[in-house]
Amino acid sequence: MGGGSSKSPGSVSGDFDGDGGGQLYVSLKIENLNIRDDLIPHVFGSIPIVGSWDSSRSVRLFSLCMERESALTWELSFVVPPNHGTLVFKFLLKSKDMESPYVVEEGEDRLLTGGKLEGGVRAAVFRLPGCCDEELLEYRVFVIADIVSPFDLAASWRAYKENLRPSTVRGVPDICINAAPEGGQENVSAASLELDLEHYVVPSPTCSTADVYAANLTEAPRSLGHNSVFTKCDASGGSPKSSEVEFHTANHIASDKNIGNMLNPSKVSLNSVMANEGSDGMFSPLVKQGGQRALSVDLGFGSPRFIKSATASGFLCDLKYSEAKAMPAAAGAVAAAAVADQMHGPKEDQCLAIVLVGLPARGKTFTAVKLTRYLRWLGHETKHFNVGKYRRLKHGVNQAAEFFRGDNPEGVEARNEVAALAMDDMLSWMQEGGQVGIFDATNSTKQRRNMIMKMAEGKCKIIFLETICNDERIIERNIRLKIQQSPDYEEETDFEAGMRDFKERLANYEKVYEPVEEGSYVKMIDKVSGNGGQIQVNNISGYLPGRIVFFLVNTHLTPRPILLTRHGESQDNVRGRIGGDAILSEAGEVYSRKLANFINKRLKSEKTASIWTSTLQRTILTATPIVGFPKIQWRALEEINAGACDGMTYEEIKRNMPEEYESRQKDKLRYRYPRGESYLDVIQRLEPVIIELERQRAPVVVISHQAVLRALYAYFADRPLKEIPQIEVPLHTIIEIQMGVTGVQEKRYKLMD
């Protein structure tokens, strides 16, 4: 395809000899910077009739209305043979009410041959009659022409006709209960399952963390493997004191027998030690502009980054793509709130510390893990600092209950020392770009909390999160889990002896425990009991603290399975086309019946389970054979919006939109389809789904689409955001997520190849 251009206000592309085969696609466009909504452009003259063009210049009675492409541009496209006769036309303007006389453009007729305008392009000038003076309107004219193969034309026509098909599920209500398929259970033999569902279990791509002690998955001391000095504060919240230690190796884990012997004196400042990269790979230092702390807004891959210095009155534009992530890797409300907080909030409010408070065995670490996972999934740079892990690294794993007595000055000093080290690590990480730190410890006295607030003063905002449980049955269960999983008792061979020691430790904490009454706080009272519990909130404000409270209100520890599966294979899956609203293929229909049999076997005793689908017919049809459970349609569960690429294959995108294809290959997480969505957009619209999944106490089956299930799975598996576009979610496979007090377990069932 060749192209031509002109200095006049218009352009034309296309230079054909008519020997290449195919058809000539022509697009006429006109543009006017002065928006006139009362006038609609038309084309008249030689007109297309059933794929041909009548070149008779005597036909002047017909005109074709141009379609509005944007606020300023109107477009009319058509297809003719490459060797067509000369097309003669003009533009005219008609009033929207069709009552005023139409106005024809000034000048000679326009002649189009082989995709080129004879005599070059010129502006379309209209002389509008007025009561006093005539008004002149000038439109820029564009002519775009290209050869299109008959196969592409046929594919486009097929997609167009398919989009015109009425939906097969239009009469299905958004919420239905016990709706049986109209056609009955035909071909049942092809959809039958083995009696033992374990026959269909396949390996999961990631290991379950349910049997791993949660504190072992938290942040290691940043100075691990380096010489360092950490600070020690007295219990009254006085000035920090220096205590010199050395971490010899980064390869030891908290449960090593000789871990208490790892520390020796040193004189190197902790501030000289660089932070480990965040778990999602999104961390980097804040952008600097003119020596000042700057605000950096990530507008997506390839977009300019606008930077505002703290002392500047305007924005500067850095056209180079940068990996700096001072803002969360997020879209929508999360990004908007972060920008507002950075620009308008106090400096200390730009970082947030959630400080856990509570007696042992009250679910503090489990709550911290869930909150960390949620915030990371939303795109906030979040880390979980567990003081117990620091204690085991500093003082070893074999500390008897005497170590935790409130009247043991050496024990109190040692515990405050490691708490100060963890707090110092968290604050240093925040200074380098961290956003939310979860400080996980008992923090059971006002003196300890005063020490923490003193260290955080002017550096971050603190919210205390107190977990309270009065259910002795749940406390006993948690204590048993502690003895089974905690490194503190891995060398204790006598389970009952471990139970006695831990209960003595618990009694020591209870003697000095002081409930939170100071500062901003959230109290979770009996939230793990399964009876609802209650939340008490004091002095909480801001977007992110509000989201955290909303999440905590809806979270609980009731064990239940969540089943994730894609719809059965669709006709577009067979053709390799993305998006659309196609019906199921034959294989997809078989899977829908196999899935119904699986659900009936797996959830036969779960009468309160529910089925969630998107509003697209391929998910609704997949759920149709399932009976006995309520079905709810969610618009939020729809596939990622491919925008202008909807209905295309990736090969077609690569051929016809190479720049879009390359942009997507470079950064699939942030890439947004033209007039469509990115994965970050999908995460934002899925937040209500996650909140409701956390709130539900009964099993839920989610029948959705690949991009959506990747995002949901990443939340439960705590996968980094950058990995979401590559997560494997194959067709005809069920991913069972088991949520409970021990963490998250995963099992996969493959019902069909």
Active-site annotation, residues: 440, 469, 567, 639
Residue spans of beta strands (DSSP E) within 114-184: 116-117, 124-128, 135-148, 175-177
Q: What is the DSSP string of 289-314?
A: ETTEEEEE---STT--EEEEETT-SS
Residue 674 token pair: 């033209």
The CA-CA-CA angle for residues 234, 240, 243, to 5°, reads 90
* Cα 486 from Cα 103, distance rounded (Å): 84
* Cα 537 from Cα 100, distance rounded (Å): 65
The answer to whether the CB of 267 falls within 8 A of the CB of 281 is no
Indicate the pairing of strand 135-148 with strand 10-13: parallel
Residue closest to 279 by CA, chosen among 184, 425, 382, 365: 382
CA distances from 53 to 80, 89, 169, 584 (A): 7, 11, 40, 40
| 3-state helix/strand/coil string of 663-680 | HHHHCCCCCCCCCCCCHH
Helices in 79-175 by DSSP H: which ranges? 150-164
CA distances from 47 to 22, 84, 86, 87 (A): 21, 13, 12, 8
* Cα 480 from Cα 498, distance rounded (Å): 9
CA distances from 34 to 129, 543, 606 (A): 17, 40, 63
Query: Exposed e or buried b for every residue in 439-467, given b needs 16+ CB within 10 A?
Result: bbbbbbbbbbbbbbbebbeebbbbbbbbb
* Cα 564 from Cα 559, distance rounded (Å): 16
Residue 110 token pair: 């326009």
* Cα 672 from Cα 668, distance rounded (Å): 8
Looking at beta carbons, which pairs linking 482-485 to residues 24 or more positions away fall under 8 Å?
482/360, 482/361, 485/211, 485/212, 485/213
* Cα 21 from Cα 723, distance rounded (Å): 44
Residue closest to 380 by CA, chosen among 422, 421, 342, 417: 342
Q: Return the residue matching tokens 């567990």.
A: 386
* Cα 630 from Cα 410, distance rounded (Å): 60
Written as one letter, the residue type at 527 is K
- Coil, helix or strand at residue 261: helix
370 burial (CB, 10 Å; 0-12 / 13-18 / 19+) is: buried
* Cα 28 from Cα 13, distance rounded (Å): 11
* Cα 155 from Cα 577, distance rounded (Å): 11
* Cα 664 from Cα 659, distance rounded (Å): 9
* Cα 116 from Cα 93, distance rounded (Å): 23
Looking at beta carbons, which pairs linking 710-716 to residues 24 or more positions away fall under 8 Å?
710/679, 711/679, 711/682, 711/683, 711/686, 712/564, 712/686, 713/564, 713/737, 714/377, 715/373, 715/374, 715/377, 715/690, 716/562, 716/744, 716/746
Number of H helices, E strands in the chain: 16, 35
